[in-house]
């Protein structure tokens, strides 16, 4: 924008005076970021229409935007921004992503105000740079590497920023200084635990360890600020320090056994123990209470959640109690005492070679009833809109209903279907998809499903065969829609509405059009995901064309052969000769055998082809 245009805008809207620098930065060639539309580059300023013309990476080119709207909605990027450099210095940025991840974060921080950014701010940049799901694993690994990078101060709290230091400092030295400065016992324990990890690899910190041990031991002995679980964690950290420098842990007070003996509720105590210490906790209970540990472990399992559930089961298995676990699960099922976390573990592990024998007696309609009860109970306890994890697991497990209804009669199936229809824990589309699975097994269930639901269930019975990779891609798009794109679009609509006069408000109209697109796409993905059946194509036959076949065709009149892979509904990749089983080409080939002749259209030419060879995609992919 030129100075005259900027002055005119400020005259009309005096509040823009404080945004003069940003308006002046809106020059042709400048890069910018829009929260919904992503990275863009300003092409020109149309003086007659008073519009910036911007080419967005994830939208059509030549997008016209009101500069007033852009002041609030666009971030004008500095030439040193990593997002700009990803365009202008692509090879170097890609090398940092692959080989120098801490250098990339250092560069991102270098261009930030005060050279500091929170994890959320860094993640926003990484999402724009690398794409939504792709950066998460990369960022998890990079955060571990940042702890050891002397250039970057890594926060101990999620809300604190990562800071690019003026002078590099060894990570262990920084932690050591913070340890001696803090008076909070809980923080001392966390810092001491961090120092233990560092001291294993850094011999030069060993000389400070006796002082660290004395400081931590004194804090544990004197403080009243720790609950029993936190104190036990502190004792374990103290004992690890003592062993590291060859101090006798038995001479230190309080002991870990004293915490167990004094505890009124060993289940509640686990709430304040880090998950990485669960196995150590179970071992401590066994050593401290040799006559009671088995009963206590089952009590912990009954009320467990997360990682503790699996730790309890594996600890009991290590003591040859597989039969006792199976009998206990069956008793809890009869008594209706199987809670959601344990049910979740059972469903996830029911086909595992390690656990299947122990769990096979549970695979009955009664377990499905317990699952529905647990989901409904959790939904009723949940005052917000948070999803019920067990409900999502049941919806995504395409084989579960069939597995649990093998021994069911029609009356039982009807009862369970009615229970499902009244359940508060499932979204409507998930509920309809589950009802479709009931109907495939017991067609008479259709009679209890009325009106619109019945027709929708009929549609749901048509499965989509998909690969795991394509399913994950669709699921990631759906999660991004509901967690990022739709909420941001609502903000866009509210912001555009605040500019007034909706009849002439182009930004409002564009935001509403975007909303229609996003909501339609959300519905489309929900239907598709609920109809999807994931496969690895290993069940494809070898003697006939099926989903999961690689077919070699030769023109019946002679000529060069062509080769096609027939895969899932979302796997089409014509450039690599991969077609969906739903395409006309694939439909013409399905069921064919070697030497069969079929008339199909390839590259716009209809001709007769002979099936020369049939291979299984799963065999070649492995």
Kindly state the average pLDDT of the residues 547-563: 88
Confidence of residue 135 (pLDDT cuts 50, 70, 90): confident
User: What's residue 176's pLDDT?
Assistant: 80
428-441 vs 506-531: helix axis angle to the nearest 10?
Answer: 20
> Which tokens hold the place of 279?
């196995």
Residue 405 pLDDT more than 80? yes
**What pLDDT digit, counting tens, does each position of 564-602 carry?**
999 999 998 888 889 999 888 888 898 889 988 888 776
Confidence of residue 371 (pLDDT cuts 50, 70, 90): very high
Kindly state the average pLDDT of the residues 156-179: 81
Q: Among residues 342, 523, 346, which one has the least CA distance to residue 427? A: 523
**What pLDDT digit, counting tens, does each position of 61-85 carry?**
788 888 888 887 888 998 889 999 9
User: What's residue 149's pLDDT?
Assistant: 84
Q: Which of 95-99, 417-421, 454-458 has the lowest mean pLDDT?
A: 454-458
Q: What ranges make up the beta strands (E) of 485-535?
A: 532-535
**What pLDDT digit, counting tens, does each position of 291-303 carry?**
999 999 999 999 9
Instruction: Please report which residue ranges of 223-338 form alpha helices under DSSP H.
Output: 228-244, 256-262, 266-269, 278-288, 293-302, 307-318, 322-334
Neighbours of 4 (CB within 10 A): 9
Residue 564, classed as helix, strand or coil, is: strand
Cα–Cα distance measured from residue 176 to residue 213, given in angstroms and rounded to the nearest whole number: 12
Give the angle subtended at the CA of 391 by the CAs of 385 and 394, to the nearest 5°. Answer: 160
Cα–Cα distance measured from residue 86 to residue 93, given in angstroms and rounded to the nearest whole number: 6
**What pLDDT digit, counting tens, does each position of 438-476 carry?**
988 888 888 776 544 555 555 555 678 999 999 989 988
Which helix or strand (DSSP H or E) is residue 396 part of? helix 389-396
Question: Can you name the residues that pair with 616 across neighbouring β-strands?
Answer: 549
Confidence of residue 109 (pLDDT cuts 50, 70, 90): very high
Quote the percentage of the chain above a pLDDT of 70: 92
Q: How confident is the prediction for the chain on average, in pLDDT?
A: 85
Residue 96 pLDDT more than 90? yes
Which helix or strand (DSSP H or E) is residue 29 part of? none
User: What's residue 345's pLDDT?
Assistant: 96
**What pLDDT digit, counting tens, does each position of 465-518 carry?**
999 999 989 988 888 888 888 888 888 777 777 665 555 566 777 777 788 788
Question: Can you name the residues that pair with 46 across neighbouring β-strands?
Answer: 51
SS3 content of the chain, % helix, strand, coil (to 5): 60, 10, 30
Cα–Cα distance measured from residue 95 to residue 108, given in angstroms and rounded to the nearest whole number: 15
Kindly state the average pLDDT of the residues 260-267: 90
User: What's residue 177's pLDDT?
Assistant: 80
Residue 110 vs residues 2, 87, 114, 165, 389: alpha-carbon distances, Å: 30, 18, 8, 10, 40
Confidence of residue 546 (pLDDT cuts 50, 70, 90): very high
Q: What ranges make up the beta strands (E) of 568-604?
A: 578-580, 597-602
User: What's residue 452's pLDDT?
Assistant: 45
Residue 397 pLDDT more than 70? yes
116-117 vs 38-46, strand pairing mode? unpaired
Q: What is the dihedral of CA 168, 173, 177, 183, to 10 degrees?
A: 120
Cα–Cα distance measured from residue 481 to residue 485, given in angstroms and rounded to the nearest whole number: 5
Q: Which of 14-23, 165-174, 226-235 has the lowest mean pLDDT?
A: 165-174
């Amino acid at each position: 924008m030129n100075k005259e245009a900027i002055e005119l805008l400020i005259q009309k809207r005096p509040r823009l005076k404080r945004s003069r620098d940003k308006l002046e930065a809106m020059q042709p060639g400048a890069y910018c970021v829009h929260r919904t539309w992503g990275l863009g580059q300003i092409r020109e300023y149309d003086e007659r229409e008073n519009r910036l013309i911007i080419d967005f990476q994830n939208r059509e080119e030549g997008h016209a935007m009101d500069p007033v709207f852009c002041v609030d909605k666009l971030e004008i990027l500095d030439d040193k921004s990593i997002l700009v450099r990803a365009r202008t210095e692509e090879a170097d940025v890609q090398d940092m992503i692959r080989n120098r991840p801490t250098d990339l974060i250092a560069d991102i921080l270098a261009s930030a105000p005060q050279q500091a950014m929170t994890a959320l701010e860094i993640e926003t940049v990484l999402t724009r740079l690398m794409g939504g799901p792709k950066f998460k694993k990369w960022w998890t690994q990079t955060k571990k590497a940042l702890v050891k990078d002397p250039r970057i101060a890594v926060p101990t709290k999620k809300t604190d920023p990562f800071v690019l230091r003026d002078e590099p400092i060894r990570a262990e030295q920084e932690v050591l200084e913070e340890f001696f400065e803090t008076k909070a016992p809980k923080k001392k324990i966390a810092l001491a635990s961090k120092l233990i990890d560092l001291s294993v690899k850094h011999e030069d910190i060993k000389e400070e360890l006796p002082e660290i041990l004395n400081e931590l031991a004194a804090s544990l002995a004197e403080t009243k600020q720790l609950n029993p679980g936190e104190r036990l964690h502190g004792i374990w950290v103290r004992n690890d320090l003592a062993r590291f420098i060859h101090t006798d842990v038995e001479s230190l007070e309080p002991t870990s056994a004293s915490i167990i003996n004094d505890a009124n509720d060993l289940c509640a105590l686990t709430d304040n123990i880090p998950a990485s210490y669960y196995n150590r906790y179970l071992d401590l209970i066994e050593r401290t209470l040799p006559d009671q540990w088995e009963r206590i472990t089952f009590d912990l399992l009954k009320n467990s959640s997360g990682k503790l559930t699996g730790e309890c089961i594996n600890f009991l298995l290590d003591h040859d109690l597989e039969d006792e676990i199976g009998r206990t699960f069956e008793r809890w099922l009869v008594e209706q005492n199987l809670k959601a976390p344990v049910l979740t573990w059972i469903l996830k592990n029911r086909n595992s070679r390690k656990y299947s024998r122990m769990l096979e007696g549970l695979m009955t309609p009664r377990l499905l009833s317990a699952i529905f009860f647990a989901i409904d109970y959790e939904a009723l306890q949940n005052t917000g809109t948070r999803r019920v994890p067990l409900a999502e697991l049941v919806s995504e497990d395409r084989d579960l209903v069939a597995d649990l209804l093998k021994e069911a009669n029609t009356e039982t199936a009807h009862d369970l279907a009615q229970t499902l229809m009244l359940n508060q824990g499932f979204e409507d589309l998930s509920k309809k998809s589950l009802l479709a699975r009931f109907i495939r097994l017991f067609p008479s269930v259709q009679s209890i499903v009325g009106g619109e639901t019945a027709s929708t269930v009929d549609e749901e019975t048509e499965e989509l065969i998909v690969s795991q990779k394509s399913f994950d891609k669709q699921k990631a798009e759906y999660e991004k829609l509901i967690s990022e794109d739709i909420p941001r679009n609502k903000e866009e609509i509210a912001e555009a509405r605040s500019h007034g006069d909706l009849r002439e408000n182009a930004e409002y109209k564009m935001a509403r059009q975007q909303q229609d697109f996003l909501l339609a796409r959300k519905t489309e993905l929900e239907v598709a995901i609920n109809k999807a059946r994931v496969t690895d194509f290993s069940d494809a036959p070898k003697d006939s064309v099926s989903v999961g076949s690689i077919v070699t065709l030769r023109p019946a009149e002679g000529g060069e052969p062509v080769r096609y892979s027939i895969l899932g509904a979302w796997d089409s990749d014509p450039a690599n000769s991969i077609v969906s089983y739903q395409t006309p080409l694939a439909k013409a080939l399905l069921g064919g055998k070697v030497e069969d002749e079929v008339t199909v259209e390839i590259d716009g030419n209809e001709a007769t082809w002979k099936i020369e060879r049939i291979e299984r995609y799963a065999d070649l992919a492995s």
